[in-house]
Amino acid sequence: MTIKLYCFGESGNAYKAALTLELSGLKWEPVFVDFFKGETRTPEFRKINEMGEVPVMMDGDLTLTQSGVIQDYIVEKSGKLGPDTPEEHREILRWTLWDNHKLSSAVGMTRFLIHFLPKEKQPQGVIPFTQARLKSAYKTLNTHLQDRNWIAADRLTIADLSCCSYLYYPEPFGFDRQDWPHIDAWLNRISDTPGWKHPYDLMPGSPADRA
C-alpha cells in the first residue's frame, strides 16, 4: 500500500516528512495541498487534520499529523534513520524538540513574513527580532557540528532531517551558509546522501508555480 503525504513544496515541515519517506525506501506519493488558496482552512481539510496544517500522512486507515510524529512512524515502519540505542533515541528526541521550538518555527515564520506577505503587511520590527533569535540557534547548531558529522548519532537520522529542512530553501531569510561552516558542511553531507532531493523537486508546489 502506498503512503500518502499531504504537503506542498514551500512547507519546510512537510519537507521533513517527505524527505524521511524518500530516504526510508517506503513507497509513498505526495498529495498537493493548495495552502496559498486557503485549502488548509477549509472544513474539508479540517476533517483530515483538525489543526489545519501540513504535513498529514495517511497509511491505510492510519492518519498522522505533525512532522516529528510522522518521522517517528517512518523509522518504526522502515527500520531506517532511527536510533540503535535508548540513548540515541533520547538524543534524537532532544534535537527534534529543539528544532521545532528554536529553529524551524522561527525560520518558517521569518521566511513567510519576508516572502509571502506584501511589504505593506509585514509587521515592523518583527523580522529583525526573529532573525536575531535565529542567529542564536544557528550558533548552537554550528557549534554542535564542529567536531561531529551528524547531530544525534554516528550516521544520518531523523534529527538531521528535522533540523535541516528549512535551510535548503533558496529564498533569503537571513541565513547564509557560508557564515556557518559546520552547518554548511553538514548540509552538504545530507544532500550528498543517495536519494536526497530538494524540496521543490520532492513535493509539488513552488513560488514559480504562483508567479
Same domain, 76 and 165: no
Say what the pLDDT of residue 118 is.
Answer: 85
CATH number for the domain harbouring residue 136: 1.20.1050.10
The pLDDT tens digits of the residues spanning 156-199 come to 999 999 999 999 999 989 999 999 999 999 999 999 999 999 99
Contact by Cβ (8 Å): 146, 182: yes
Same domain, 41 and 98: no
Same domain, 9 and 30: yes
User: pLDDT band for position 51 (50/70/90)?
Assistant: very high
Same domain, 160 and 73: no
- Grouping H, G, I as helix, E, B as strand and the rest as coil, residue 123 is coil
The pLDDT tens digits of the residues spanning 28-43 come to 999 999 999 999 999 9
Q: Rounded mean pLDDT of 85-89?
A: 98
At 183, the amino acid letter reads: I
The cell for 56 is: 498529514
Number of domains in the chain: 2
Same domain, 118 and 145: yes
Same domain, 91 and 184: yes
Q: Which helix (H) or strand (E) holds 110?
A: helix 104-115
Instruction: Identify whether 55 is preceded by a cis peptide bond (ω within 30 of 0).
Output: yes
Say what the pLDDT of residue 117 is.
Answer: 86
- Burial of 121 (C-beta count, 10 Å sphere; 0-12/13-18/19+): exposed
Neighbours of 30 (CB within 10 A): 20
Is the sign of the CA dihedral 40, 43, 46, 48 positive or negative? negative
Nearest alpha carbon to residue 165 among 114, 88, 108, 92: 108
CATH number for the domain harbouring residue 51: 3.40.30.10
Start-to-end C-alpha separation, the chain: 35
Same domain, 35 and 123: no
- Grouping H, G, I as helix, E, B as strand and the rest as coil, residue 170 is coil
β-strand pairing of 3-7 with 28-32: parallel
Say what the pLDDT of residue 210 is.
Answer: 80
Same domain, 94 and 174: yes
Same domain, 9 and 38: yes
Which domain covers residue 166, as residue numbers? 86-191
Q: CB within 8 A of 74, min separation 6: which ones?
A: 17, 20, 21, 24, 26, 80, 81, 158
Over 90: is that where the pLDDT of 96 sits? yes
Same domain, 116 and 183: yes
Same domain, 18 and 112: no
Same domain, 96 and 77: no
* Cα–Cα distance for residue pair 90/96, rounded to 1 Å: 10
Contact by Cβ (8 Å): 113, 126: yes
At 184, the amino acid letter reads: D
